[in-house]
């Protein structure tokens, strides 16, 4: 039991340490470690976990790791996999944060960070375009997008409320659509 836990931890630790970017960036190494090397599950199962994880709260890479850990060893496996995949981040980022705070006043570091911040805006815009293509499909999508954007920019309303509101709006809009479609179908008969 202890040995299995250790094996899960080490596997996910390694994957956390070599994945840049999270999410789907982790898929190739998951394939190698989990399917090819260990034979813990099939590729389709991992893809299902990805689809589900995108729809769940939290970081996608963590959700997928937790699913795989649970699949292999129930709750202890789930906890171990999640802790394993975040451990490299905690170590590396803590080291950088401590290091950088000592160099923040250096003028060269400031120039470099100013350049980087411009690049970061371009990266965010790229992410927004990607999400728009996947998730904004019709006029209701445009409306919800605009409301979220404007409310977030001009009020101090918590994003928590916006997220809850958007989920409820989605459920209502789709239910009404379905109801009106079945209503039309009944009339034709």
Nearest distance, CB of residue 38 and another protein, angstroms = 18
C-beta closer to another protein: residue 1 or 153: 153
Residues 6+ apart with CB under 8 A from 104: 110
C-beta closer to another protein: residue 6 or 52: 52
Nearest distance, CB of residue 9 and another protein, angstroms = 14
C-beta closer to another protein: residue 35 or 148: 148
Nearest distance, CB of residue 71 and another protein, angstroms = 7
Q: From residue 26, give the alpha-carbon distance in Å to each of 5, 96, 99.
A: 21, 22, 27
CA-to-CA distance for 62 and 81, rounded, in angstroms?
Answer: 8
Residues 6+ apart with CB under 8 A from 183: none
Nearest distance, CB of residue 137 and another protein, angstroms = 8
C-beta closer to another protein: residue 5 or 145: 145
CA-to-CA distance for 161 and 167, rounded, in angstroms?
Answer: 10
């Amino acid at each position: 039991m202890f040995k299995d836990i250790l094996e899960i931890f080490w596997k996910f630790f390694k994957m956390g340490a070599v994945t840049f970017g999270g999410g789907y960036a982790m898929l190739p190494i998951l394939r190698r470690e989990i399917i090819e090397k260990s034979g813990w599950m099939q590729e389709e199962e991992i893809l299902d976990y990805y689809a589900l994880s995108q729809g769940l709260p939290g970081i996608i890479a963590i959700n997928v790791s937790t699913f795989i850990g649970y699949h292999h060893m129930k709750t202890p496996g789930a906890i171990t996999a999640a802790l394993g995949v975040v451990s490299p981040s905690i170590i590396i980022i803590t080291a950088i944060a401590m290091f950088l705070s000592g160099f923040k006043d250096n003028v060269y570091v400031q120039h470099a960070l100013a350049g980087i911040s411009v690049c970061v805006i371009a990266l965010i815009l790229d992410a927004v375009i990607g999400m728009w293509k996947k998730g904004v499909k019709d006029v209701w999508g445009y409306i919800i997008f605009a409301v979220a954007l404007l409310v977030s920019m001009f009020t101090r309303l918590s994003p928590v409320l916006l997220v809850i509101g958007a989920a409820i709006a989605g459920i209502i809009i789709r239910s009404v659509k379905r109801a009106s479609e079945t209503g039309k179908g009944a009339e034709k008969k």
